[in-house]
Amino acid sequence: MINKKIKNIKVKKKKPGRFSKINQYLINILISLSTIILIFCVGELLMRVILPPSPKNIGQLYRVGWNRNYRNSAFISNAEVIHRGVPTKINTLGLKNIEIDLHKPKNTFRILMFGDSFTYGLGLLINETLPSQLERKLNMNKNGSITTQVLNFGVSGMNTFQEVMYALNYGLKFDPDIIMIVWIFNDIEMNGYTTHDFNSFTKTGTLPKIEKKGFPSLAREERIGSFKGEKSIIMRFWNFYEKLKIKSKLIYFFGTRTKELLQKFGLNLKTSEKVIYSDLDSDGFQLSFNSLKFINNKLNKIGIEFYTILYPPLQKLNDDYYNDLINKKVEEYCIKNNINCLNLFDYFRGEKPSKLHTSTIDYHPNGYANKIASIALDKYIKQKSKLFGMK
């Protein structure tokens, strides 16, 4: 009888309360996050196994506090280091170059090439760099007894203003006949300098001092300058993304390829290049433009030829993406201000970018890319330069 009553009693089920639902949501979120983190970690491990290890740096290459002094070399003289996995020997004068004398020999044309890591030859041996290959090309089948030297003054991370200060304070000591600046789209980065610094330098010759972090490990905010509104939001996202790329091979591998994939489907995102690097009104662009105009006028007055060489980023070469967006604007500015300018884009058009890179994880130009550039430069200089017309 008692058992029947117990059976007939209906057990009322409690409805889940508000806090129970929240707890369930939290559990689901934690499970999802854990799954994402697990997938990311597995992917990261796979990338670290599949992709080649990051090249090592052994030894000290840069002078301490060099960014405050452009009157001597950026590098330690006679340094022998492993830089980006490559044995690198700096000569007595502090250049990634074969040994030369400070004083120019007789019957010699001397070309000084300034620029950033593209010019320096990041991840390359000396004979693979653009200055070295151009020197061999200019001296090939030469007429008469004139020899041409092309000296490598490239320093990774430099902007145009720094290259100009370096050229006028250290480069002129080498008695050059020609000075070149190899311009890359990120040369508009300000690296902590301001328009005031430029005006002070051009009027008084005073070298501005940067009391912040040591060159070249400046924060992106210092490198680019400040932006407002939409540009500021994109800059913050870009800063965060750049930091992740340095730490994660998975993000580096897929991040650099996602943009190209989206563009194939017609999705053109507002990338940092489109929003920031194409803004002619930005302080960075104006600093770069004014620096080119200033050194061109300065050198012309003392009888030294000046050339700007526009080297395209070797990421997308089958259309005019970077060229239309950035390089043509610089080219137009140079033409308007009577600055000799060679845009290398057409010489690379149609090339497969992967054939031009130093490695699968480094998009800097390899020896083959610099060979293409040196052929173009050889032809251009021999057409434009009064010196080579005198040979």
- The model's confidence at residue 224, banded by pLDDT at 50, 70 and 90, is low
Our measurement of the distance from residue 23's CA atom to the centroid of its chain's CA atoms, rounded to an integer in Å, reads: 49
Residue 367 pLDDT exceeds 60:
yes
User: Vertex 210, ends 205 and 212: CA angle to 5°?
Assistant: 175
Q: Is the separation of the CB atoms in 365 and 323 below 8 Å?
A: no
Q: What is the pLDDT of residue 100?
A: 95
The DSSP element (H or E) to which 183 belongs, if any, is: strand 178-183
User: Radius of gyration of the chain from Cα atoms?
Assistant: 27
Domain ranges of the chain: 18-50, 103-227+276-389
- Helices and strands, number each (H, E), in the chain: 16, 9
Give dist(CA 165, CA 147) in Å, integer.
27
How many of the other CB atoms lie within 10 Å of CB of 200? 14
The CATH architecture annotation of domain 103-227+276-389 reads: 3-Layer(aba) Sandwich (3.40)
Give dist(CA 129, CA 121) in Å, integer.
5
Query: Once rounded to an integer, what is the mean pLDDT over residues 140-152?
Result: 85
Tokens of 349: 């058009």
Q: What is the pLDDT of residue 220?
A: 42
Residue 222 pLDDT exceeds 70:
no
Q: Is the dihedral of CA 156, 160, 166, 171 positive or negative?
A: positive
pLDDT tens-digit readout, 108-141: 999 999 999 999 999 999 999 999 999 999 998 7
Exposure on the CB side of residue 312, measured as CA atoms within 13 A: 28
Query: Once rounded to an integer, what is the mean pLDDT over residues 186-213?
Result: 84
Q: What is the pLDDT of residue 230?
A: 56
Give dist(CA 182, CA 312) in Å, integer.
10
Q: What is the DSSP letter of 323?
A: I
Give dist(CA 146, CA 382) in Å, integer.
14
Beta bridge partners of 305: 178
Beta strands 80-83; 108-114: pairing state:
unpaired
Q: What is the DSSP letter of 242?
A: H
Q: What is the pLDDT of residue 42?
A: 82
Helix, strand, coil distribution of the chain in percent, nearest 5: 50, 10, 40
Residue 250 pLDDT exceeds 80:
no
Give dist(CA 313, CA 117) in Å, integer.
12
pLDDT tens-digit readout, 52-109: 666 677 888 988 777 667 999 999 999 999 987 889 999 999 999 999 999 999 999 9
Q: Among 99-103, 172-176, 235-239, 312-316, which is the least confidently predicted range?
A: 235-239
pLDDT tens-digit readout, 277-296: 777 888 889 999 999 999 99
Query: Once rounded to an integer, what is the mean pLDDT over residues 359-377?
Result: 93
Beta strands 362-365; 357-359: pairing state:
antiparallel
Residue type, 241: Y
- Of 179 and 57, the structure prediction assigns the larger pLDDT to 179
Q: What is the DSSP letter of 324?
A: I
Look-up: residue for tokens 């550039």?
373
Query: Once rounded to an integer, what is the mean pLDDT over residues 262-282?
Result: 66
Round the average pLDDT of the chain to a whole number and report it.
83
Contacts 24+ apart (CB under 8 A), 199-203: 201/161, 201/165, 202/294
pLDDT tens-digit readout, 2-54: 555 555 555 555 555 556 777 778 888 888 888 888 887 887 777 777 766 66
- Of 27 and 271, the structure prediction assigns the larger pLDDT to 27
User: Vertex 220, ends 219 and 224: CA angle to 5°?
Assistant: 125
Backbone φ and ψ for 205, nearest 5 degrees, come out as: 80, 5
Helix axes 230-247, 249-264, angle to 10 degrees: 130
Tokens of 372: 């293409």
Beta bridge partners of 307: 180, 340
Give dist(CA 132, CA 184) in Å, integer.
19
Query: Once rounded to an integer, what is the mean pLDDT over residues 372-378?
Result: 97
